[in-house]
Structure 1
Amino acid sequence: MTQTRTRLERGRAALGPALTLVHTGSAPTRAVLTAELGVTRATAGAVAAELELLGLIRVDTRPTVAAGAQGRPSHRLTVDPDGPVVLAAQVHADGFRAALVGLGGSLVATTPGCMTVPADPAHVLGLVVAAGADLLKSTGRVCLGAGLAVPSAVAEPEGTALNPLHLAWPAGAPVREVFAEQVRAHGVTGPGGTPVASFVGNDVNVAALAEHRHGAGRGAQHLLVVATGHRGVGGALVLDGRLHTGSSGLALEVGHLTVNPEGGRPCHCGSRGCLDVEVDPLAFLEAAGRVPGPEVSLLDQSAALLREEYDDPSVRVAAETLVDRLGLGLAGLVNVLNPDRIALGGLHRRLFEADPERLRAVVADRSLWGRSGSVPILACGLDHNSLVGAAELAWQPVLDDPLGALSV
């Protein structure tokens, strides 16, 4: 009896690590799962079967054999495409977006909303949760949690937005509390009929988490992500697989590195020439001599300009100016943090893709580590990575204890 109980306890303890391995694509087969968990084939098989019974993964017991392959093929493991989802939400300077995200970072459904975000967080959070609730109703999927990404440093564990600079929200807005209230008000419930748990994070922080698990940062030990979305610039660092948020959630406010001290734009922080105001979509449009329009977001306007008018001398010069300033900021971060990979998101991703060698040269020339050995710079690999990252916050309790999360 004791041996049987011990075996069952060991198997349950392995459910979370096993699901995490499948979720991140790190265990595509049962053989790899066995090796990664350090258990017997029988235990790995039982764990995979339990996760399949829970509706979280699928086990292909009859995989095809590649031509020339030796030995019996191992069972293939994938997340269940029809399994449960979490509600992911993002609020940005030009509106919001809601999505349903499955395991593996897969976007099941998504819907945007464009608006001027009002000063009351409850207004836009009510709209984004309502949009997510409609997606849940139309798809009929089971929801296990809700995650929100916001363009502000988020204090931990309170979940307050400390500096929503590009929103009209007051500093210290209790965003997690308001988000949870809206989740309850719109009837977003889990398998037991109780409101799902709600989580909030900074948009670039959670984007970095998503990129590390599912995108350009997979396999990196120390991943630095720098991105500009609709307004401003953010950064995040993943160390040894864990998001580094500092003592209270405020680490990596990279937008306030000075890159243009002489004649730079005034910044919200009180300084001048910061990344936040020198290398974001508004700065690019103004440098290119374009007047921003209200029809679509600043990010979409900037992306279209790069895509459609890059041969225009004014656009090319503006892009080169922003690339040089971004390179200066990245060089300083490389000197301080010594990452083994840099991933760029939002407009930075598109600027990098337009002239990758120019940016790499600036970083290498202006950083000690860049000179001794280049730090790989990549474009972020996920569309809507902040949404996927918000979903990661909501998935984490399930990854920690799948059986407990689904038994509530």
Structure 2
Amino acid sequence: MSGKADPRPAGDGTTSRARLDRGRGALGPALELVHTGRAPTRAVLTAELGVTRATAGAVAAELEALGLIRVDARPGAAAGSQGRPSHRLEVDEEGPVVLAAQVHADGFRAALVGLGGRIVATTPSCEAVDADPAKVLGAAVDAGADLLRRTGRRCVGAGLAVPSAVTAPEGLALNPLHLAWPVGAPVREIFAERVRAAGVDGPAFAANDVNAAALAEHRHGAGRGARDLLCVATGHRGVGGALVLDGRLHTGSSGLALEVGHLTVNPEGRPCHCGSRGCLDVEADPLALLTTAGREPGPEGSLLQQANELIREEYADPVVRTAAEALIDRLGLGLAGLVNILNPDRIILGGLHRTLLDTDPDRLRAVVADRSLWGRSGGVPILACSLDHGSLVGAAELAWQPVLDDPLAALSGR
């Protein structure tokens, strides 16, 4: 931090250096508090960091000098509040961005995402995925790089979300079956190479799409404030899960934790590509709904879009209603097993599961309560994911993490 960030006289050199050292250590935590909306004012920032008002002021000023946040010049107070007015803090909407890309079974999309999880610009969804991951990731990065050129924004990193378990730290996609990519495709390495080739600044990261969505929801959406958060979601094909434990994404020893798609929920059900039968992956995804309702997937729109529209527009049809109820029961059975094992304090559902929850919340909650150890008296809250592009925002969170960890090092090389 620069000495200019502290508005008070420096005093003796020892005191000044100590204050600056404390401020440097607080930059990352302070930025994360503003980034996640947990420090809307400098007074709250002071309390959350456990530092003096002067140190909090210096930290906020340094983050503003880095172009990451904005500090209101004049302190204000909310109507009806008590105490001294405080300067409001918010992310700088003109600040740097990261390039985010999401690949799914029916296409890919790229976006620029700023602090606060705000999507600055996005490309239309491409509805074709080549069997060569290098071609797909190259096209996604090129689309994002074009957004950067057109917007003129500074980029500090890139993140990728894919519908596959992704090993850490190697970044291998172990089961990209719905993409027809080779098992073990080095997606992080390919993505990083394409990012460098496109002249995009900053490090590159890759993760499973539901892990990314859970991270985004925990920081910016329906999972905010949860300590132990379970996220289960249908992508365009298959079912994925993710877990945030004590506020941090849990990925296991090598990035492969919580492959919930292969929980058996219908022992006599459809064959699964894992070799078993009746897994959530094939019993509770968009294709399962369409086939259970006797509908052939159409050529227009993704499978997820078709399944959502079927429920929203034709739920009065007894066949569609029965199919939706069958999926709700299978999903509830899987969630109950996960509740028994993980004991989360909140569950959030995305993709088609969000639509099923919105359609018949009482049925789903009843199945989970009846089949879980805690029963109706200790039922865990089940909520819908609130972010429209959670996996994209979560991919961006991967790239923002080095900046949140050490803003000075990430942005100024110090």
- Does the TM-score normalized on the shorter chain lie above 0.5? yes
2:27 aligns with 15
Structure 2 residue 232 is the aligned partner of structure 1 residue 232: no
Instruction: Decide whether aligned partners of structure 1 residues 63 and 320 sit closer, same or farther in structure 2, where only a CA change above 3 A counts.
Output: farther
Contact 2:238 2:281 in 1 (8 A): yes
Aligned to 1:266: 271
- Does residue 46 of structure 1 match 2:58? yes
Report 1:5-404 matches (<5 A): 5-189=17-201, 196-262=202-268, 264-404=269-409
CA contact (8 A) 2:336 2:372 kept: yes
For the 8 Å contact 1:331–1:366, the answer to whether it is kept is yes
Tell me, yes or no, if the aligned pair for 2:76 and 2:86 is still in contact at 8 Å.
no
Tell me the CA shift for residue 64 of structure 1: 4.2
Residue pair 1:338, 1:369 contacting (<8 A) in 2 also: no
**Matched residues, number:** 401
TM-score for the superposition, normalised by structure 1: 0.96
Give the AA of the match of 1:199: F
Distance 1:299 1:382 in 2: 16
- Counterpart amino acid of residue 31 in structure 1: A
How far apart are the structure 1 equivalents of 2:381 and 2:411?
A: 40
| Cα separation, 2, equivalents of 1:370 and 1:60 | 49
* Matched residue, 2:7: none
What secondary structure does 2:110 align onto? strand
SS class of match (1:100): strand
Residues 210 and 386, structure 1, Cα contact 8 Å, conserved in 2: yes
Deviation at 1:112, TM superposition (A): 3.1
| C-alpha distance after superposition, 1:99-148 (max 9, x if no partner) | 10000100111113333422211000011001101111111111000000
CA root-mean-square deviation? 1.1
Q: How many angstroms apart in 1 are the aligned matches of 2:370 and 2:364?
A: 10
State the identity %: 81
> CA offsets per residue over residues 286-323 of structure 1, 9 Å max, x none?
11111101221001111111111111111111111100
1:171 counterpart SS class: coil
TM-score norm. by structure 2 comes to 0.95
Q: Following the alignment from structure 2 to structure 1, what is the Cα–Cα distance between the partners of residues 351 and 337? A: 20
Shift of 1:2: 3.1
Q: Deviations over 1:9-28 (max 9, x none)?
A: 11111100000000011111
Partner of residue 193, structure 1: none
Q: Distance in 1 between matches of 2:170 and 2:306?
A: 35
Equivalent residue letter for 2:334: G
Q: Give the Cα separation in 1 of the matches to 2:224 and 2:42.
A: 20
* Unmatched 5+ stretches in structure 2: 1-12
The secondary structure found in structure 1 opposite 2:124 is strand
In structure 1, the gaps of 5 or more residues are 190-195
